[in-house]
Structure 1
Amino acid sequence: MTGPAPRIRFHDLGRDPGFAAGTLAGLVSGDNGALRIDDTTAGATGPASPRPIPPESGDQRGVSTSPVIETGFPAGEAVLSWHAVTPTATWLEAALRVRGADGCWSRWFVLGHWAGGDDFASGDIRRTTIDGQSDPAGRVLNDTFRAAQDRPFHAFQVRATLVRPAGSTAPVQLAALYAMVSAPPSDDLKPTSAFTLDKGLALDVPRFPQMIHAGCYPAFAGGGAAWCSPTATSMVLYYWGRKVGAEVLESIEAPQGDPHIIWAAQGVYDHGYEGTGNWAFNAAYAAGFGLRAFVTRLRSLAEAEAFIALGIPLVVSVSFTREELPQAGYDTDGHLLVISGFTGEGNVIVNDPGAASSGEVRRELDRAPFESAWLKGSAGITYVFHPPGVPLPPSPGEPNW
């Protein structure tokens, strides 16, 4: 790809600059570096939480606020992701604020209320984003903060709040917190990136079709076309050997098979926008299986090739019309699939969950229109899931992982 590369920067806030570089209120660091609520303090109580059944005692909260982080360029969007351990009746709030060129700070924008469980009767919240938040600096679009037009931001802070019922000692933890910021998307057409591998390479990613679940579980968006993200996420989880326990799956009705996809759809469902495609929620779900899991943007298929070369498949977000990517045979305004390899000619091998059977999942798509569908469709949004012991490729000079 010629011309200036898209400006993207990824921050692992638990490592760079580290939780201790910010401020902690009512939190302590455990032996593994994760933050937990300090059992020796009463903590801060707050208003009733977004639980269907709020605790009579109120909530105890612990808050981690990052230092001010300079973007290094005028940024237009931000996406957060995290790994939080949330026992029953505990939850996490992730929030962001930005500073413009005039030095003025925005409000705090909430980018997610997260809990891993769905035991509402016992105090679990309904995990949700809060769409519609806005001020002159920008607005929230489900899982993304977008700066107002002509008002990019130059610095930001992230705030994570752990919550549990007052008087509880439940070990809610924040194990990891990530922020990705990027320049405003550009409509400029860029040349297709050059193929960087010296041969074709295909990873043996399991093939799960989402369409066998069409019409299932209307309370969770009804399966089928709505479940591309949890199905793609599950393919990568199972590739790494991180499977849903058999004892859990026994209780799930799956007439067409693959009950683990139904479990995943329930586990990532966003009760705010009523869908399963929340990027941060899919990463948080994957992190619960012991993977390092985050959302970022990549700049090209050449960057994706570096992951494939190390055996790391990627989940990416694309959109296209039938005319733009005729090999796909459909059009979409937003779809998640897995990059699982490349042919010797540099075309893309994908596991596309938008199929009616496992035999139809693996596909080969021409490089140029696919790269365009990804970079134009979502500006390169990518889920990166890998075991902590599996190293990532060296990051670029302006690191986006």
Structure 2
Amino acid sequence: MDDAKIFTMVIPLTLPKILAACCVALAVAAAVSPTAAATTAAVDYREFRMPRAFGAGLTDGLLPGRNGLRIARPAGTVEHTEPGLGTTRRYEYATWTSPEHRPGFAATQLVASWNAQTPPGTWLQVEMRPRAGERWYSLGRWASGDGDIQRTSVPGQSGAAGMVDVDTFIAAQGLTGYRLRVTLYRLAGTDASPTLTMVGAMTSAVPDRFTVPASAPGPARGIELPVPRYSQNTHVGQYPQYGGGGEAWCSPTSTEMVVEYWGRGPSQADLAWVDPAYADPSVDHAARHTYDHAYDGTGNWPFNTAYAATFGLSAHVTRLRSMAELESHIAAGVPVITSQSFRADELDGAGYGTAGHLMVVVGFTPEGDVIANDPASPDNAAVRRVYDRAQFETIWLRTKRHTASGAVAGAPGGIAYIIRPARR
């Protein structure tokens, strides 16, 4: 299990209308009956894929290359200090700012995603500005390695429009539009550059709910994808500087399983730093390269999908509204990483309770129950689990739950990582 996150949900005042898809925007909102409206989530995912989206935004110092945006003529220089590394260095930078995107409803949360390559001496920052907002909010300073900056979310950000909770912007009032800005950095005087392939964001408004109606099995019945099985508990006590060690690595363990399902992953040279006595060193590698220094954990959602994308995959964080949407991915051959929280008595066969945990849905039984690779298992052989469909549906899609003490706590509301081969 990983570090728990606190989720804040607000019931939308009106139902969103269906929006026409634009470029690679995905609007998943629909008109429904008054009864169904009580549990329907409004979710919009909009991404800008480079280099074809280059002209849609405002650029300063970047040019499109074959694989994405790169620094051409820097917009300026900045001196950046990394206290944890004991370095102060001068960097050149350039920016790309998206056009304003309006999801078509008043969103309560936003989570950004990005896919990029950051060779040594480079890094990037992703920011979001609410429509008519008073400021830019940083959603992460990121590099695939850890020799130039300490990869980190940025705590202490709040304003009239809302606040940032690790990787999630929580709107003070309805978020009706936003812009994204990506700043690429390189050591001054060098020719190196990050390459930005994609930046996007998921916005959502999910009604407060403790339960969701059970759904009928769909097209993924009887499908099980051959996803590698890794247990985080194989790594208990390893590299505690990365969020406490393997017992807290559910997110990178899940991410690594899916990366390797697609035939990708770190090379033997990449893994040379891992103690050769450790089994499954790629999990240790994923934990190191998803670690968020401010959050002090490996459960930063976009850091996990950004890690997956360093292997040439397309990866983003979104919310799915239903089990039917999850099944559509499985039917297409795409495993889905889901976030859930539950008491031990709410998920038969799990044997534990958690305030926040990631696992990989790899298929469905012929009866429609969920087949999951659950990293919170004693060893790799025990990772495959079958969970009751209705129980899983509730613990994944709800936004509120009762803890063992009877208190009310937040829940993920359908969070998912979608990782698949890159579209060309």
Change (3 A) 1:300 1:17: farther
Q: Which amino acid aligns with 2:287?
A: A
Number of the residue aligned with 2:121: 89
Number of the residue aligned with 1:384: 418
Number of the residue aligned with 1:114: 142
Answer yes or no: is the 8 Å Cα contact 2:396–2:413 preserved in 1: yes
Answer yes or no: is the 8 Å Cα contact 1:76–1:185 preserved in 2: no
1:256 deviates by 4.2
- The within-5 A match list for 1:59-70 is 59-70=91-102
Choose which of 285, 288, 308 in structure 2 pairs with 1:263. Answer: 285
1:213 deviates by 0.8
Answer yes or no: is the 8 Å Cα contact 1:205–1:239 preserved in 2: yes
Answer yes or no: is the 8 Å Cα contact 2:220–2:364 preserved in 1: no
CA distance in structure 2 between the partners assigned to 1:42 and 1:285 by the alignment? 26
Number of the residue aligned with 1:299: 321
Number of the residue aligned with 2:407: none
CA distance in structure 2 between the partners assigned to 1:307 and 1:45 by the alignment? 43
Number of the residue aligned with 1:12: 47
| Identity of matched residues, % | 45
Number of the residue aligned with 1:397: none
Change (3 A) 1:337 1:254: farther
Choose which of 47, 52, 61 in structure 2 pairs with 1:26. Answer: 61
Choose which of 37, 43, 61 in structure 1 pairs with 2:75. Answer: 43
Answer yes or no: is the 8 Å Cα contact 2:231–2:253 preserved in 1: yes
| 3-state SS in 1 of match to 2:326 | helix
Choose which of 163, 183, 190 in structure 2 pairs with 1:161. Answer: 183
Number of the residue aligned with 2:194: 172
Answer yes or no: is the 8 Å Cα contact 2:348–2:387 preserved in 1: no
Number of the residue aligned with 1:315: 337
Aligned-residue RMSD, C-alpha: 1.9
Answer yes or no: is the 8 Å Cα contact 1:55–1:165 preserved in 2: no
CA deviations on 1:234-287 (whole Å, 9 max, x unpaired) are 111111111321222233115341111101100100011110011000001000
Answer yes or no: is the 8 Å Cα contact 2:82–2:150 preserved in 1: yes
Q: Does 1:140 align with 2:168?
A: no
1:45 deviates by 1.5
Change (3 A) 1:198 1:24: closer
Change (3 A) 1:335 1:188: closer
Deviating runs (4+, > 6 A) in structure 1? none
TM-score (norm 2): 0.85
Number of the residue aligned with 2:297: 275
TM-score (norm 1): 0.89
Q: Does 1:127 align with 2:161?
A: no
Choose which of 266, 271, 292 in structure 2 pairs with 1:244. Answer: 266
CA distance in structure 2 between the partners assigned to 1:371 and 1:185 by the alignment? 15
Q: Does 1:98 align with 2:133?
A: no
CA deviations on 1:278-327 (whole Å, 9 max, x unpaired) are 10000010000111111111011111111111111011111111122232
Q: Which amino acid aligns with 1:382?
A: A
1:219 deviates by 1.0
Structure 1: gaps of 5 or more residues? 391-401
CA distance in structure 1 between the partners assigned to 2:143 and 2:56 by the alignment? 26
Change (3 A) 1:134 1:17: farther
Q: Does 1:72 align with 2:94?
A: no
Structure 2: gaps of 5 or more residues? 1-31, 399-410
| 3-state SS in 1 of match to 2:138 | strand
Change (3 A) 1:30 1:372: same
Number of the residue aligned with 1:204: 226
- The within-5 A match list for 1:363-374 is 363-374=385-396
Number of the residue aligned with 2:355: 333
Change (3 A) 1:305 1:42: closer
Number of the residue aligned with 2:241: 219
Choose which of 36, 47, 63 in structure 2 pairs with 1:3. Answer: 36
| 3-state SS in 2 of match to 1:63 | strand
CA distance in structure 1 between the partners assigned to 2:63 and 2:416 by the alignment? 32
Q: How many residues align?
A: 376
CA distance in structure 1 between the partners assigned to 2:272 and 2:210 by the alignment? 50
| 3-state SS in 1 of match to 2:304 | helix
Q: Which amino acid aligns with 2:127?
A: A
CA distance in structure 2 between the partners assigned to 1:220 and 1:181 by the alignment? 29
1:361 deviates by 0.2
| 3-state SS in 2 of match to 1:220 | coil
CA distance in structure 2 between the partners assigned to 1:70 and 1:247 by the alignment? 44
Answer yes or no: is the 8 Å Cα contact 1:13–1:179 preserved in 2: no
CA distance in structure 2 between the partners assigned to 1:334 and 1:165 by the alignment? 38
